[in-house]
Amino acid sequence: MKHLLSVEKLTRDAVESILAAAKSWKAERRTSSRRPLAGQVWALLFSKSSTRTRVSFEVGIRELGGQPLFLSANEIQLGRGELIKDTARVLGRMVHGAIIRTFAQADVEEFAAHAGIPTINALTDDEHPCQILTDVFTYQEKRGPIQGKVVTFVGDGACNVPVSWMFAAAALGFELRIAAPKEFQPSPELLSRARGKISCTEDLRAAAKGADLLYTDVWVSMGKEAEAPERVKVLGGYQINQAMVKLAKPDALVMHCLPAYRGKEIDEATFEANAQTIFDQAENRLHVQKAILDWIVC
Ligand code: CP
Ligand code: NVA
């Protein structure tokens, strides 16, 4: 049985096959009659807010012939203390797959271990694999192979999104530069696990120089709200703006996983100048996740 729990555990072959299929799913969105989820119900079990991930999975499951079942963790017994492994064993007897957004990575892994159904990580504190597969897909759609390119991540370099980028760098052979204050850089343990061509620096200008892709994410991830004042203070300045864009390659892309906070991790002018790319990136969540679902059930 296949799961998608992290980029770390995905093989290069799996990544390539998902990205190739996403291209077909996108091209054939209106014409394809393939329904690999026909007769299936997939649960979306979410403990955190979501716009893109929820909508793209709900629409994608329907387009693949299945039915989504959205479950807010607080509205089921899980929110009152029922164990994850018991929830998993119940859902595993009733639905055909599960898509989980939560805090601890260990919880998604525990669910997958007990449910007996394919399980997808729709964001944990550690990784956001569906997002990064989509980001790579979007880059390649616009600029060709990402192998050998330079991706510069600016902002909270230790949260789920840059961590998934780290594992993708190793799998796909591109350079990743993380521009972040010392306390928001990934741990040495994580860097050695990722094994790719990855550097961390506090020097924003050096990180942006010659980049093919400038990428950022919120300074305050879900679950870190209590740290917001401190984060805004320490991360202040770690922003993608016109000065950063000037240092990157002339055809560099600017991407953001969204939601965006203008004036914080990106300025208004740079966001709007790159809105086409950023909203293509958001749309591509649908196509890439259809490819993930198809890959997981086949
Ligand atoms: N980028 C992303 O995962 O967006 P949502 O939190 O809206 O799902
Ligand atoms: N790092 C962000 C990603 C949001 C899609 C968070 O976890 O809130």
Share of the chain above pLDDT 70, in %: 100
Q: How far is the CA of 60 from the centre of ligand 1 (A)?
A: 15
For residue 99, the ligand closest to its alpha carbon is 1
pLDDT tens, position by position, 167-200: 999 999 999 999 999 999 999 999 999 999 999 9
Residue 49: the pLDDT is 98
Distance CA 27, CA 22 (A): 9
Q: Which of 102, 217, 278 to mutate to test the pocket of ligand 2 (most atoms within 8 A of CB)?
A: 217
Single out the residue of 282, 26, 8, 277 nearest to residue 129, CA to CA: 8
Q: How far is the CA of 108 from the centre of ligand 1 (A)?
A: 17
Residue 230: the pLDDT is 98
pLDDT tens, position by position, 147-174: 999 999 999 999 999 999 999 999 999 9
Residue 126: the pLDDT is 98
Single out the residue of 93, 95, 125, 133 nearest to residue 109, CA to CA: 125
pLDDT tens, position by position, 59-111: 999 999 999 999 999 999 999 999 999 999 999 999 999 999 999 999 999 99
Closest atom of ligand 1 to 48 CA is 6
Q: Would the CB of 161 count as within 6 Å of ligand 2?
A: yes
- The CATH code that applies to domain 131-281 is 3.40.50.1370
Residues near 281 by Cβ (< 8 Å), separated by ≥ 6? 134, 135, 138, 255, 256, 257, 258
Distance CA 82, CA 75 (A): 12
Closest atom of ligand 2 to 224 CA is 8
Name the CATH code of domain 12-128+284-297 (choices 3.40.718.10, 3.40.50.620, 3.40.50.1370, 3.40.50.880).
3.40.50.1370
H or E element in which residue 110 lies: helix 105-115
Q: Whose CA is nearest to atom 3 of ligand 2?
A: 221
Q: Is-contact 119 112, C-beta < 8 A?
A: yes
45 token code pair = 């079990």
As a whole number, the mean pLDDT across the chain is 98
Pocket of ligand 1 (CB under 6 A): 50-53, 123, 131, 257-258
Residue 3: the pLDDT is 98
> Where are the CATH 3.40.50.1370 domain residues in the chain?
12-128+284-297, 131-281
pLDDT tens, position by position, 217-249: 999 999 999 999 999 999 999 999 999 999 999
**If phi over 0 gives left and psi between -120 and 50 gives alpha, with beta otherwise, what is residue 251?**
alpha
Q: Which of 48, 53, 58, 165 to mutate to test the pocket of ligand 1 (most atoms within 8 A of CB)?
A: 53
Number of other CB atoms surrounding residue 259 within 10 Å: 11
Closest atom of ligand 2 to 222 CA is 8
Distance CA 122, CA 19 (A): 17
Single out the residue of 184, 131, 106 nearest to residue 7, CA to CA: 131
Residue 209: the pLDDT is 98
Q: Would the CB of 160 count as within 6 Å of ligand 2?
A: yes
Q: Would the CB of 221 count as within 6 Å of ligand 2?
A: yes
Residue 215: the pLDDT is 99
Sign of the dihedral through C-alpha 47, 7, 187, 172:
negative
Residues 9-25 have a mean pLDDT of: 97
pLDDT tens, position by position, 116-156: 999 999 999 999 999 999 999 999 999 999 999 999 999 99
Residue 289: the pLDDT is 99
pTM of the shown model? 0.98
Q: Would the CB of 159 count as within 6 Å of ligand 2?
A: yes
